[in-house]
Amino acid sequence: MSASSAFNDEKGGSSSVGEPEYGHDPASGGIFSSDYKRHDDLKEMLDSNKDSLKLEAMKRIVAMIARGKNASDLFPAVVKNVACKNIEVKKLVYVYLVRYAEEQQDLALLSISTFQRGLKDPNQLIRASALRVLSSIRVTIIVPIMMLAIKEAASDMSPYVRKTAAHAIPKLYSLDPEQKDQLIEVIEKLLADKTTLVAGSVVMAFEEVCPERIDLIHKNYRKLCNLLIDVEEWGQVVIINMLTRYARTQFLNPNINDDDDEDDKEKKAEAATLAKRKPYVMDPDHRLLLRNTKPLLQSRNAAVVMAVAQLYFHLAPKAEIGVIAKALVRLLRSHSEVQYVVLQNVATMTIKRRGMFEPYLKSFYIRSTDPTQIKVLKLEVLTNLANETNISTILREFQTYIKSMDKDFVAATIQAIGRCATNIGEVRDTCLNGLVQLLSNRDELVVAESVVVIKKLLQMQPEKHSDIIKHMAKLTDNIQVPMARASILWLIGEYCEHVPKIAPDVLRKMAKSFTNEEDIVKLQIINLSAKLYLTNSKQTKLLTQYVLNLAKYDQNYDIRDRARFIRQLIVPTEKSGALSKYAKKLFLALKPAPVLESPFKDRDHFQLGSLSHLLNAKAGGYQELPDWPEAAPDPSVRNVEVKESVRAVGTVTYRDTGALWGLPGPQTMEGSEGCSQLDSASGSESGSGSEESGSGSESDESEEGSESEQESEEDKEEDKKKKKKELKKPVRESERLIILHLLLCRQTITPCSASKSYELLHRITGEGLSVEYCFSRQPFSPDGNMVAVQVQFNNSAASETKNLHMEDVKLQCGMRVKEFPEIGEWWGEAATAVMGIDFCDSTQAANFQLCTHTKKFFVSIQPPVGELMRPVFLTENEFKKEQGQLMGMNEITERLTLDAKCRNEHTIVQRVTTAANLSRVPCGSDKECRFAGRTVTSGSLVLVSVVTKEEGAAQLTVNCEKMVIGTMLVKDILLALTQ
Amino acid sequence: MIHSLFLINHSGDIFLEKHWKSVIGRSVCDYFFEAKEKAVQPENVPPVLQTPHHYLISVYRDKLFFLSVVQTEVPPLFVIEFLHRVADTVQDYFGECSEGVIKDNVVTVYELLEEMLDNGFPLATESNVLKEMIRPPTILRSVVNTLTGGSNVGDTLPTGQLSSIPWRRAGVKYTNNEAYFDVIEEIDAILDKSGTTVFAEIQGVIEACVRLTGMPDLTLSFMNPRLLDDMSFHPCVRFKRWESERILSFIPPDGNFTLMTYHVSSQNVVALPVYVKQNISFLETGSCGRLDITIGPKQTMGKTVEGLTVTVHMPKTVLSANLTATQGNYTYNLATKVLVWDIGKLNPQKLPNLRGSLSLQAGAPRPEENPALDITLKIQQLAISGLKVSRLDMYGEKYKPFKGVKYLTKAGKFQVRT
């Protein structure tokens, strides 16, 4: 029964969809008569208790809204259904509410309680959608409710709800700007969020509410840089634009030493002297931003590519900007609207940095099917790119363009030729000749444009081109376009000395046709006559008189005015004052040649890619791109307390990860979730942090280090240097220990002491006290189940540090720590201490406070998995036997391709033993290397074998009872062997 | 950010409007209509317009204008890219993007727009996420909906939005597991009058159709990845692995998607599959002209050239064309002055030729420029750059999928100047 009635309604509905074409345009009227009736039946349907009827009614109402028809009188009937059980009806009611709540504020309040209930729902998606609708209802009276809801949602467990909270912030701000301070607090809180889902939305809120509060970004800067690649596309655009502005306030200009702007040579000299005093070193954070944005040039989203391109243009050292050219040229294949915007920006870029687009010259060639605005922009780019080497090709291209049917485009081409000729001296004559040929073109517009351009060109060196002037003088008979005629007349007047015979004749002809000319031509005739009178009064006196007389009675008062003025100046009478003596100087002064400039010059003071840049006018809400600071502000503001920084990098989940595919199951694909099983308590971040870098390094330097390993060569070198520096000291300090250690544990052939040191406390955070630690790989004598950690203190502060000790150790259950004895006072620079930690065979961090007599610092030590074991000696047979027992789930095999530098046995052994504290097991075959160890706490065996094959292919097998350890160890060794 | 959206048809009627903040009156579109009037051709309407209180950013797709209203600074490409994404979504949902289809599905489109933006900022633009919330219509479902009064709103909650890989939904199941890849290359070229190449390059795209159960992790490798000079990827592709190993490693979206686009290194000389001999001339007197076009195969690597057409945009003064084609048909549209010669397959033994006379408006001056020829063609089973997929591997799932790669070469913007 209900089905059949619904069917009838559906039919009625669909027929009504077809008919109301008149409703498209509200101005056409006729709505009221028919709509009243229909609204009545809609109300009836909404009041019924059948969901199908309600749904049908809502669909028709939404269709009305979509067509722009007024459905506001249905508000009471619709709002009743806000608590409807049917999710489909509910959704449509929300759509309606958001559209009309503003107009019917009182009635809208009826729905609020439903949303408030929704905010408490156990399902995160329902919480989010309730907040979304609640915040979209633009009713001022509920501002306090919204504020409360946003605050609550900002600390919701679900990142999706937090994202919705971030979206709600600008909505509330636009409703009531007075809430700004409170909203900033929420923004500050959400900025600290570590999930990719929230990052884009909260930065968008930041940009709309408080873009001036750049200080809120400091602590989150590195995290944002690291998260960037995994944020959704739209968020990426917003974040990149914001970070561009941020970087301009915090870092130094990387091009300060070699800015080659011709127009500010003085500045250059100044900068050079400055540079001598202080060589430029890029802030590592500045580098981090450039490095992390670069891969996004390969995004499919044009807006992201453009955002990165503008970031590089505004922030990168000159030598590195080139990379963006290729990506921008790629965008020229996209939709014509995209081309239009990209070309505008390329045009601006080519003025400052011509070199980077030169290899792509041909990509800017014009097709006859391009829209006119694209053609003109491409022409602009081609003109900017022209130089001595490519000008002949470009001119050949221009020649084909001149024949185009699109006359506006031809005119633009002629101007472009003019600009090429002024910029490049060598081709000036060629261009002039070409333009002169155009003077015989049949199209008057073309001729006129050529005349105007030739005029500008001739002004540069008139003496050489009297024949062209003569040629143009002849044209006055044919050309009718006023601007062109005026230009010719001006030219003859200006250079009448070069064409003494022709000039008076032209004036004669012009005098004859004076009355029929356009105003601008008339003015030029007067000018010409005046100039001739001054140079050749014998021949032209009468003519001038005649012209001036004609002008005296002209209809246009400008012309009458000019005639009177000129007569007074040039014709000497007794009344004429001192001025007429200088008439010649007034009229025939040397005039500077005009500069033909690109309209895109200096547009780059607007941030590229912005609407303001495109319009060349400041749009509302545009944030100025600040100039580089003279001196860099304190970089330490970006340092984050250790715990916090654990670890944005860790959340780099998907696109950054390398060889994840070897791990079974779909879960591992989700990065942080995948390994959160390792530590449920401390959240997924720290777990994946350890996985990512395999170290526990929290400091910025080593963060830089571990990342740049995967980066380009130059970074590697930089990194190596840094590491060397880091290494030197601990090695010297621990030399004695190592020798001792070797003596003590002879039987466990420790091939390599992992003297790689990690930072525990950065010098800046520690206010002068810097602390590093390394895993010395010696047995910790007080307790055999503990890993020995050697800690080294360095005090570079002016004040002395006393009473160094540990406090407030926070551990996961089962873990134990043997603290190092308090260091009372020390002299000299460095001090070392050894502590023991029982990590319980997990890579969870040991957190504690490091206290001096005055301060406390939160620090944490996190072991790479390779340090959780100690070497054992096995014979070949023992190894095989043990391996046989650790099959199946306990065995993990990976194929890999060895790094080119790591194809001999020696380096393989070295790299494996550096990555993990294992000892070599003798083996008959030279194709196989075997290693063995036991985990420190539980003593489980860890067996590793690497079998090498042809051409660097290899197979890595790890057998370990503890699967988690095994999995992580495989990863670390893979990394060590492939890089 | 994006304030409102108006959909406008070819003749200037607004047939759908959506506001994400407070309502903006339709009169704002008058500025756009003015510009449209001025531009004559719809392609020539400036994409960004400034009005006293608003900025209008529009795209022209499938004979429709997507016009958005913006009030404050926003990167124009951000808006343009989004508008194209709207058009793509409509296309994806209903098979085509036209006024009729949008009008028929107006509620669904409106709901889609509601979900895509929140307060003017993109919220869910992945088609996979959208499809979970609002189901695309199928014949079966529309019949069921008609009978039961149901709608297309998904009754499950969209979980894709919460995942770290929003482009794939959980719990995908197929009985036939298949993964097909189309490598499509387009040749962009400009040839001059004498037939020499002014400019030529190859742009490629890999379109994928993946219907696999569960969460497969695919790797696609090439025989000759060095050919690729510049590329852009779907967000699912892992950058790091491409950078280090030149392998495409990704968890694919479900269904059809564009995996990557690429540009072939410009060092390689582009092999053009055809040559064109042409002679178009307009006589100084007698208001008539001659046309003679021949097309022949050049480097086709032993494959047949298909779908060959030649399009000529004639000067305005050409009244009619009286031609004979040895192969295929030609049409001359008097209103748009476009001559189209549809050749079809290229037969290397008997080269297709089109010749005859053109008659011009009497008394009009001889056209300055000869019209350019636009060529389209297709070659099946060939990637003109020589790019080859070497293998596709799947990890993470146990079953064996059907795999396939197809190659296709097309003419992109292939223009011959005369």
Options 1.20.140.10, 2.60.40.1170, 3.40.50.10190, 1.10.3720.10; CATH of B178-269+384-416 = 2.60.40.1170
Enumerate residues 6+ apart whose C-beta is below 8 A from A22: A28, A30, A31
> What's the one-letter identity of residue A823?
I
Taking an 8 Å cut-off on Cβ atoms, the answer to whether A87 and B155 are in contact is yes
Residues of B in contact with A338 (CB under 8 A): 77, 80-81, 84
Separation CA A359–CA A886 (nearest Å):
59
Taking an 8 Å cut-off on Cβ atoms, the answer to whether A123 and B201 are in contact is no
Decide whether B2-148 matches B274-380 in CATH topology: no
The string of pLDDT tens digits covering residues A603-633 is 888 999 999 999 888 888 888 888 888 887 8
Residues of A in contact with B21 (CB under 8 A): 174
Per-residue pLDDT band at A104 (split at 50, 70, 90): confident
- Asked if B111 contacts B102 with a C-beta cutoff of 8 angstroms, the reply is no
Going from N- to C-terminal start, the domains of chain B cover: 2-148, 178-269+384-416, 274-380
CA distance A726 to chain B (A): 28
Residues of B in contact with A121 (CB under 8 A): none
Instruction: Give the pLDDT mean for A682-707.
Output: 39
Residues of B in contact with A325 (CB under 8 A): none
Separation CA A163–CA A143 (nearest Å):
19
Please indicate if any CB of chain B lies within 8 Å of the CB of A501: no
Indicate the range of A59-68, A278-287, B310-319 predicted with least confidence.
A278-287
Q: Average pLDDT of chain A?
A: 77
Taking an 8 Å cut-off on Cβ atoms, the answer to whether B110 and A95 are in contact is yes
Please indicate if any CB of chain B lies within 8 Å of the CB of A99: yes
- Asked if B96 contacts B88 with a C-beta cutoff of 8 angstroms, the reply is no
Q: Which helix (H) or strand (E) holds A971?
A: helix A963-978
Residues of A in contact with B261 (CB under 8 A): 300, 330, 333
Q: Which residue has the tokens 């040229």?
A: A329
Of A7, A125, A329, the CB nearest to B146: A7
- For the question of an ipTM over 0.95, the answer is no
The string of pLDDT tens digits covering residues B305-325 is 999 999 998 888 888 888 999
Please tell me the predicted confidence (pLDDT) of residue A651.
Answer: 40
Taking an 8 Å cut-off on Cβ atoms, the answer to whether A405 and B235 are in contact is no
> First and final CA of chain B: distance in angstroms?
46
The string of pLDDT tens digits covering residues A125-150 is 888 888 998 898 888 888 999 999 99
Please tell me the predicted confidence (pLDDT) of residue B146.
Answer: 59
> Which of 5-64 (A) contact B at CB < 8 A?
6-7, 9-10, 17, 24-26, 52-53, 55-56, 59, 62-63
Interface test with B, best of A300, A311, A897 (most B CBs within 10 A): A300
Please indicate if any CB of chain B lies within 8 Å of the CB of A658: yes
Joined tokens for residue B388: 């080859």
Please tell me the predicted confidence (pLDDT) of residue A186.
Answer: 93
**Residue A803: pLDDT above 50?**
yes
**Residue A652: pLDDT above 50?**
no
Enumerate residues 6+ apart whose C-beta is below 8 A from A680: none
Per-residue pLDDT band at A572 (split at 50, 70, 90): confident
Residues of A in contact with B70 (CB under 8 A): 611
**Residue A596: pLDDT above 60?**
yes
pTM: 0.71
Q: Which residue has the tokens 């505004």?
A: A314
Q: Average pLDDT of chain B?
A: 86
Instruction: Give the pLDDT mean for A28-37.
Output: 46
> What's the one-letter identity of residue A659?
A
Q: Which residue has the tokens 């802030």?
A: A283
CA distance B15 to chain A (A): 6
Separation CA A236–CA A292 (nearest Å):
11
Separation CA A656–CA A666 (nearest Å):
17
Of B73, B219, B374, the CB nearest to A622: B73
Separation CA B56–CA B64 (nearest Å):
15
Separation CA A929–CA A924 (nearest Å):
9
Please tell me the predicted confidence (pLDDT) of residue B337.
Answer: 87
Helix (H, G, I), strand (E, B) or coil at A847: strand
Please tell me the predicted confidence (pLDDT) of residue B65.
Answer: 94
Please tell me the predicted confidence (pLDDT) of residue A691.
Answer: 38
Does B2-148 carry CATH code 3.30.450.60?
yes
CA distance A651 to chain B (A): 10
Taking an 8 Å cut-off on Cβ atoms, the answer to whether A669 and B215 are in contact is yes
Residues of B in contact with A233 (CB under 8 A): 122, 125, 235
The string of pLDDT tens digits covering residues A373-393 is 999 999 999 999 998 888 888
Separation CA B53–CA B76 (nearest Å):
17
Per-residue pLDDT band at A829 (split at 50, 70, 90): low
For B274-380, CATH number? 2.60.40.1170
The string of pLDDT tens digits covering residues A423-471 is 888 888 888 888 888 877 777 778 778 888 888 888 777 667 778 888 8
**Residue B163: pLDDT above 80?**
no
How crowded is residue B44: how many other Cβ atoms within 10 Å of its Cβ?
A: 18
**Residue B385: pLDDT above 80?**
yes
CA distance A362 to chain B (A): 6
The string of pLDDT tens digits covering residues A466-521 is 788 888 888 788 777 788 888 888 888 888 888 888 888 888 988 889 888 889 89
CA distance B350 to chain A (A): 30
**Residue A77: pLDDT above 80?**
yes
Taking an 8 Å cut-off on Cβ atoms, the answer to whether B47 and A654 are in contact is no
Please tell me the predicted confidence (pLDDT) of residue B364.
Answer: 74
- Name the residue in chain B with its Cα closest to that of A394: B198
CA distances from B391 to A896, B234, B247, B358 (A): 17, 19, 10, 54
DSSP collapsed to 3 states, A151-193: HHHHCCCCHHHHHHHHHHHHHHHHHCHHHHHHHHHHHHHHHCC
The string of pLDDT tens digits covering residues A661-682 is 333 333 333 333 333 333 333 3
Top-confidence residue, A977 or B101: B101
Long-range contacts of B330-338, Cβ-Cβ distance < 8 Å, separation of 24 or more? B330/B354, B337/B313, B338/B311, B338/B312, B338/B313, B338/B314
Of A330, A404, A619, the CB nearest to B369: A404
Of B118, B231, B369, the CB nearest to A403: B369
Residues of B in contact with A126 (CB under 8 A): 157
Please tell me the predicted confidence (pLDDT) of residue B159.
Answer: 59
> Which of 232-271 (A) contact B at CB < 8 A?
232-234, 237, 241
Of A98, A336, A612, the CB nearest to B43: A336
Taking an 8 Å cut-off on Cβ atoms, the answer to whether B153 and A403 are in contact is no
Taking an 8 Å cut-off on Cβ atoms, the answer to whether A673 and B164 are in contact is yes
Top-confidence residue, A399 or A22: A399
CA distance B412 to chain A (A): 10
Per-residue pLDDT band at A339 (split at 50, 70, 90): very high
Of A88, A160, A710, the CB nearest to B162: A160
Taking an 8 Å cut-off on Cβ atoms, the answer to whether B73 and A621 are in contact is yes
CA distance B191 to chain A (A): 11
Interface test with A, best of B33, B64, B78, B270 (most A CBs within 10 A): B78
The string of pLDDT tens digits covering residues A177-186 is 998 999 999 9
Please tell me the predicted confidence (pLDDT) of residue A690.
Answer: 37
**Residue A266: pLDDT above 70?**
no
> Which of 604-633 (A) contact B at CB < 8 A?
609-612, 614-615, 617, 619-623
CA distance B31 to chain A (A): 16
Please tell me the predicted confidence (pLDDT) of residue A170.
Answer: 92
Taking an 8 Å cut-off on Cβ atoms, the answer to whether B249 and A661 are in contact is yes
Q: Return the ∠ at Cα A32 (arms to A28 and A34), rounded to 5°.
A: 100
- Name the residue in chain B with its Cα closest to that of A668: B396
Residues of A in contact with B164 (CB under 8 A): 196, 230, 653-654, 670-673
Residues of B in contact with A92 (CB under 8 A): 107, 111, 153
Top-confidence residue, A793 or A279: A793
Please tell me the predicted confidence (pLDDT) of residue A657.
Answer: 46
